[in-house]
Chains A and B, each alone.
Chain A
């Protein structure tokens, strides 16, 4: 195995990275380019830019609206996302040399994060299966997305607690990709599975509901300032519609 597998993974990750960055960048660019012609913040809404930043901050960090909607959903969803965030930050150690101080500091917390993430995902999936109204709105892709993330988490946890992998080798491989100095990838089926699934996640990111992550920042009902009486807000395409005076 060895060499061909390493090359295949190298190419796969270059491709996945390009799709993730260019694809998501393109989608974000269309959000930026598309105007919001009317003021539609869901009120009560902040009356200043700073207030809007706080509102978005609360949505992103604490899922404020979700908290008002449904406590169980909030708990499972928040557990999953916080777990995910910590896991991702912890993973930075594979891509930095020397490892940044705060990433090193974070490592112990990351140990629990993997479990939190998996538990949250399991909770979300249970909800999708057993709550009738959520089952009704679920498409196959909704289930598969949870399966995908759960599989990533379980293969990751598997490497950590069951069948250890050569972390140093993994790191050498990815640093090699980043600096175009290719190194072999340790031959380990669990690692292969983890990485194939991660690449798949990166590939579908810009064409799936994972766009909710950038989307939350562009939602006019959340990111607009409530000041329509004080400032005249006109989109470029709408300006031409004013009657001539």
Chain B
């Protein structure tokens, strides 16, 4: 994109229907993965002859393997309930960013090749051949969906465009048209162990540096252990936590919590990444391969508990899929699952979110907290999509909303909610999830942040909010980048455990 990236103006009335601007985003495409990146994941290097057959073939397979895709392709009545619910449609006004229109890019092909009316009367039911032009459209618009599931909340059948987008990315990968950002990162996880390509020794150095920093700040010997066999807890966290700002402040927060509670914990150089981009490209094999690293590390280190740091899609994968993919969980009856589940301590939820762990300690009075330390902050909370709409914390539905808020209230005096309809399960995506956190998509990311920025600006001007807490590495990176486009300071975003870190008092209990 040559044109300068600019934020759209905040809408005066977010409830009013928006004009459509067809084709507004048609030319925005992420870089294509090169043949090396593709082949590292077992995909064809490029769109070679036969891509069409491969694509239709894989589509058929997916329709047989995933009930979601099958039902979603058939059930949509084009009612339009979802149409105005997507932050990318709101920000770009491109009608192909309406969830139902995005689905129809695939549904039209599904109808053509897999249904009777589509074979006989394509025009009547909106069926299309999968041509190169259609594939290009897929590449543009399936790479403009952050798989945030907001549309699925409002659809009367729960049709989840994220599932369709994932299937489309899988089909494009198999055709030979992969997305560079996601596929390159997956390669790094397999080669090095984390998304950032940070090798073990560098990680050890970084952690040592953090120990020194915290010693200086608190006078306490707070440890950041790596690969310690016999630790009770294995912490798996997004690799951005190791050095990106503001992520690292949350990592310091987790370490202080473990220290204060006297829990022996460790990180793993083999599983130094909670993120799992296999989710974004919808590929079961990749999803499982990446997740298995964590199982291997847990078995190797002999830990009793597995705790996950602040990362939205990672928590979805951990909470919803780890038991399926790796046996991390409970209730497994097969040898593969039992082998690990016998080692894990069944008195704890497996896996546990770091917020569940911290909240548990706070409720038991195990942490000394000085709320006033956060008095320079007026805090609000941004629910991250994958936590809000694809997972849970605690024992009750909605715990994923209550627990992080409860922690914030326990560590800070000033807390303000953003307007209804923009939080909890109706939260708006930050605009950078789903494998879109790449610079060539900046225009989309800035526009997609519009509804969140509108909500934030309401509480910022109305209540003086100056800190937006979140529990997702992608949200943190995305907001750090796009907040300035809307006239906010980039330091306004940070983790929940950054707030914990500020409030927690270490040393002997008084």
Residue numbers in B under 8 Å from A235 (CB-CB): 65
User: Knowing A229-B351, A233-B323, A233-B324 touch, does A216 contact B75 (C-beta < 8 A)?
Assistant: yes
CA distance A241 to B126 in the complex (A): 37
CA distance A79 to B351 in the complex (A): 45
Answer whether residue A131 sits at the interface, using C-beta atoms and an 8 A cutoff: yes
State which of B117-125, B131-139, B256-264, B360-368 sits at the interface with chain A: B117-125
Apart from the given pairs A39-B324, A212-B156, A226-B392, 6 other A-B contacts in the complex at a CB distance below 8 Å: A35-B66, A40-B320, A138-B78, A218-B67, A229-B323, A245-B336
Chain A residue nearest to B65 in the complex (CB): A237
Chain B residue nearest to A220 in the complex (CB): B68
User: Knowing A140-B123, A241-B284 touch, does A219 contact B390 (C-beta < 8 A)?
Assistant: no
Contact between A215 and B19 (Cβ–Cβ < 8 Å)?
A: no
- Max count, chain A CB within 10 A of own CB: residue among B78, B98, B126, B158: B158
CA distance A41 to B349 in the complex (A): 19
Answer whether residue B46 sits at the interface, using C-beta atoms and an 8 A cutoff: no
Contact between A220 and B67 (Cβ–Cβ < 8 Å)?
A: yes
Residue numbers in B under 8 Å from A181 (CB-CB): none
A73, A211, A219, A242: the one within 8 Å of B334 (CB): A242
Contact between B124 and A131 (Cβ–Cβ < 8 Å)?
A: no
Residue numbers in B under 8 Å from A141 (CB-CB): 117, 124-126
User: Knowing A42-B152, A232-B327 touch, does A65 contact B158 (C-beta < 8 A)?
Assistant: yes
State which of A3-11, A44-52, A86-94, A159-167 sits at the interface with chain B: A44-52
A132, A137, A238: the one within 8 Å of B17 (CB): A132
Give B315 Cβ to nearest chain A Cβ, in Å.
11
Residue numbers in B under 8 Å from A39 (CB-CB): 320-321, 324
Contact between A137 and B101 (Cβ–Cβ < 8 Å)?
A: yes
Answer whether residue B20 sits at the interface, using C-beta atoms and an 8 A cutoff: yes
A34, A139, A226: the one within 8 Å of B397 (CB): A226
Answer whether residue A37 sits at the interface, using C-beta atoms and an 8 A cutoff: yes
Q: Could you name 20 residue pairs across A and B whose Cβ atoms are closer than 8 Å?
A: A36-B66, A36-B67, A38-B320, A39-B324, A42-B158, A66-B81, A132-B19, A133-B98, A137-B83, A137-B98, A141-B124, A141-B125, A142-B77, A204-B117, A216-B157, A219-B157, A221-B160, A229-B351, A232-B330, A245-B339
Interface residues on chain B, number (Cβ under 8 Å) = 83
Give A133 Cβ to nearest chain B Cβ, in Å.
5
Residue numbers in A under 8 Å from B67 (CB-CB): 31, 34-36, 218, 220
Binding site for B on A (CB under 8 A): 27, 30-31, 34-40, 42-47, 59, 63, 65-66, 68-70, 73, 77, 127, 131-134, 136-142, 144, 204, 207-209, 211-212, 215-216, 218-222, 226, 228-235, 237-239, 241-245
Answer whether residue B79 sits at the interface, using C-beta atoms and an 8 A cutoff: yes
User: Knowing A216-B75, A219-B75 touch, does A207 contact B80 (C-beta < 8 A)?
Assistant: no
Give A29 Cβ to nearest chain B Cβ, in Å.
12
- Max count, chain B CB within 10 A of own CB: residue among A27, A38, A142, A234: A38
CA distance A167 to B70 in the complex (A): 42
Give A88 Cβ to nearest chain B Cβ, in Å.
18
Give B155 Cβ to nearest chain A Cβ, in Å.
6
Residue numbers in A under 8 Å from B468 (CB-CB): none
Residue numbers in B under 8 Å from A219 (CB-CB): 68, 71-72, 75, 157-159
Answer whether residue B211 sits at the interface, using C-beta atoms and an 8 A cutoff: no
Contact between B68 and A40 (Cβ–Cβ < 8 Å)?
A: yes
Contact between A37 and B66 (Cβ–Cβ < 8 Å)?
A: yes
Which B residues, 232 to 247, have Cβ-Cβ distances below 8 Å to chain A? Answer: none
Give B21 Cβ to nearest chain A Cβ, in Å.
11
Give B297 Cβ to nearest chain A Cβ, in Å.
14
- Max count, chain A CB within 10 A of own CB: residue among B63, B71, B116, B123: B71
Residue numbers in A under 8 Å from B98 (CB-CB): 133, 136-137
Chain B residue nearest to A206 in the complex (CB): B116
Residue numbers in A under 8 Å from B154 (CB-CB): 65-66, 68-70
Answer whether residue B391 sits at the interface, using C-beta atoms and an 8 A cutoff: yes
Contact between A209 and B331 (Cβ–Cβ < 8 Å)?
A: no
Chain A residue nearest to B335 in the complex (CB): A245
Give B444 Cβ to nearest chain A Cβ, in Å.
19
Residue numbers in A under 8 Å from B70 (CB-CB): 30-31, 34
Chain B residue nearest to A51 in the complex (CB): B397
What 1/0 flags go to B44-88 for Cβ under 8 Å of A?
000000000000000000011111101110111111111111000
Residue numbers in A under 8 Å from B319 (CB-CB): 228-229
Answer whether residue B249 sits at the interface, using C-beta atoms and an 8 A cutoff: no
Contact between A209 and B17 (Cβ–Cβ < 8 Å)?
A: no
Contact between A139 and B160 (Cβ–Cβ < 8 Å)?
A: no
CA distance A110 to B101 in the complex (A): 37
Residue numbers in A under 8 Å from B459 (CB-CB): none
- Max count, chain B CB within 10 A of own CB: residue among A40, A144, A216, A231: A40
Closest 10 CB pairs of A and B: A215-B75, A44-B397, A221-B158, A69-B154, A139-B126, A69-B81, A222-B158, A134-B80, A232-B332, A34-B67
CA distance A230 to B72 in the complex (A): 27
Answer whether residue B100 sits at the interface, using C-beta atoms and an 8 A cutoff: yes
Chain A residue nearest to B127 in the complex (CB): A139
Give B308 Cβ to nearest chain A Cβ, in Å.
12
Answer whether residue B439 sits at the interface, using C-beta atoms and an 8 A cutoff: no
CA distance A168 to B65 in the complex (A): 50
CA distance A47 to B391 in the complex (A): 12
Residue numbers in A under 8 Å from B155 (CB-CB): 65, 69
Contact between B329 and A43 (Cβ–Cβ < 8 Å)?
A: no
Give A99 Cβ to nearest chain B Cβ, in Å.
33
- Max count, chain A CB within 10 A of own CB: residue among B70, B126, B321, B324: B324
Residue numbers in A under 8 Å from B339 (CB-CB): 245
B75, B100, B334: the one within 8 Å of A212 (CB): B75
Contact between A140 and B82 (Cβ–Cβ < 8 Å)?
A: no
Contact between B285 and A241 (Cβ–Cβ < 8 Å)?
A: yes
- Max count, chain A CB within 10 A of own CB: residue among B156, B285, B337: B156
Contact between B321 and A228 (Cβ–Cβ < 8 Å)?
A: yes
Contact between B100 and A137 (Cβ–Cβ < 8 Å)?
A: yes
Contact between B157 and A136 (Cβ–Cβ < 8 Å)?
A: no
Contact between B75 and A73 (Cβ–Cβ < 8 Å)?
A: no
Contact between B157 and A215 (Cβ–Cβ < 8 Å)?
A: yes
Residue numbers in B under 8 Å from A244 (CB-CB): 336
Residue numbers in A under 8 Å from B74 (CB-CB): 27, 209, 211-212, 215
Residue numbers in B under 8 Å from A70 (CB-CB): 80-81, 154
Residue numbers in B under 8 Å from A36 (CB-CB): 66-68
Give A50 Cβ to nearest chain B Cβ, in Å.
13
